[in-house]
Amino acid sequence: MKFDIMRDRLLDGLNDVMKAVSSKTTIPILTGIKIDVSEEGMRLTGSDADITIQTYIPVEENGEQLINVEKPGSIVLQAKMFNEIVRKLPTNDVEFEVSEKFQTRIRSGKSDFHLIGLDSTEYPLLPELSEDNQFTVPADLLKSIIRETVFAVSTSESRPVLTGVHWQIKDGELVCVATDSHRLARRKVTLEHLPSEQSSVVVPGKSLTELSKILNDATTPVDIVMTNQQVLFKTNDVLFFSRLLEGNYPDTSRLIPEEYKTDVTVNGRSLLQAIDRASLLAREDRNNVVRFTTMQDDTIEISSNSPEVGKVEEQIQVSSLVGEELKISFSAKYMMDALKAIDGQDVVIQFTGAMRPFIIRSVHDDAILQLILPVRTY
């Protein structure tokens, strides 16, 4: 293998793939970055097994020659070392040459590095994903979908499948659901050109958080391919693969009540602040519980009572209060997380009873729906 490349372009590519490389891997080859060079361009791959990031640098871009390929080939180089070397090379022209036994020579200006590389056939094979089932989401929307759901995944490994977000394509919609079994966040998006076949995957929450970090806030399209092995997110020249969680995701659709007994419409921000104040007196070891009570004249009361600490009561005027009287307790933290995800708009809270899940959504639609299981007090 032999080629020349522009150092700044190589560095850009490395920056992306390095995000996937971890020193904690149990598979030795994954401490390296794989470099594949063909007549068309160069592909860099980094992976920690859970996520894999690939970048592509074409030989030529907008008439500018980025790479000059003399002889195609592949090699794996120690990621940390390679990254440091490229970062510190003296000129923008870098020359690579791999000879017998993976001997790798990197030259730039007057510096001349000799590295011992690793056999690229040892590197994991990424799945070939067909583009048939591909669909597209703008990067900024994808980012908010992640923000609105991923906080609700379980952090406990007792039900591993709940550590992921369930992505389901059904009836022309993409539905993303996360739950730690105590609360649930659901985001629905109507998209054009969704695959007609129903399909679903459970993407680890951590992978989505990592993906979010490399997405920009623009409307750049992100192509998504879901298979039963991996999920792939493609944007410009970056490919982001994630492994999936095994196991069946519980059917959460039955949790969302069909009809409600008590409907409250309230300003999200003022409710959030009241809950925040009440939670000051709610004891951590009692699930940080606050009490929500409907009152007369479109008023609700948020209260909290800890025998040793003290108590707090606060009444809030609501826009509307319809239906049965209700006293219900819930975790202040879950409520605040939910209100933050809906982001300060006027919200509708719908209850069906003190021991049943209730939902919180924007007054406008139910694209973002938050569901919370109450706390039973004795």
Residue with token string 């070397």 = 85
280 sits near other proteins (criterion: CB under 8 A) = no
117 sits near other proteins (criterion: CB under 8 A) = no
Residue with token string 């809950």 = 275
Tokens found for residue 175 = 């539905």
Q: What count of residues does the chain have?
A: 378
Q: Which is nearer to other proteins, 65 or 228 (CB)?
A: 228
Burial code (b: 16+ CB inside 10 Å, e: under 16) for 343-355 equals: eeebbbbbbbebe
Q: Which is nearer to other proteins, 98 or 245 (CB)?
A: 245
Cα–Cα distance measured from residue 337 to residue 304, given in angstroms and rounded to the nearest whole number? 18
Tokens found for residue 234 = 């493609």
CA atoms within 13 A of residue 210's CA, in its CB half-sphere: 24
- Which of 90, 124, 172, 344 touches other proteins by CB under 8 A? 124
CA quadruple 55, 61, 65, 69: dihedral sign = positive
CB of 161 to other proteins, least distance (A): 8
Sketch the per residue contact string, 126 through 155, with other proteins: x for CB under 8 A, - otherwise.
-x----------------------------
Per DSSP, 326 falls in state -
- Which of 116, 295, 322, 355 touches other proteins by CB under 8 A? 355
286 sits near other proteins (criterion: CB under 8 A) = yes
- Which helix (H) or strand (E) segment holds residue 342: the answer is helix 332-342
Site residues for other proteins, 160-189, by CB under 8 A, read 160-161, 179, 181-182, 184
Stretch that binds other proteins, among 104-112, 232-240, 310-318, 352-360 (CB under 8 A): 352-360
- Residue 370 pairs in a beta bridge with 185, 360
Largest CA distance in the chain: 84
Stretch that binds other proteins, among 34-42, 95-103, 107-115, 286-294 (CB under 8 A): 286-294
Q: Which is nearer to other proteins, 157 or 297 (CB)?
A: 157
Residues in touch with other proteins (CB under 8 A): 26-30, 47, 49-50, 52, 121-125, 127, 157, 160-161, 179, 181-182, 184, 204, 228-230, 243-247, 250, 252, 255, 285-287, 289, 307, 327, 329, 331, 353-357, 373-378
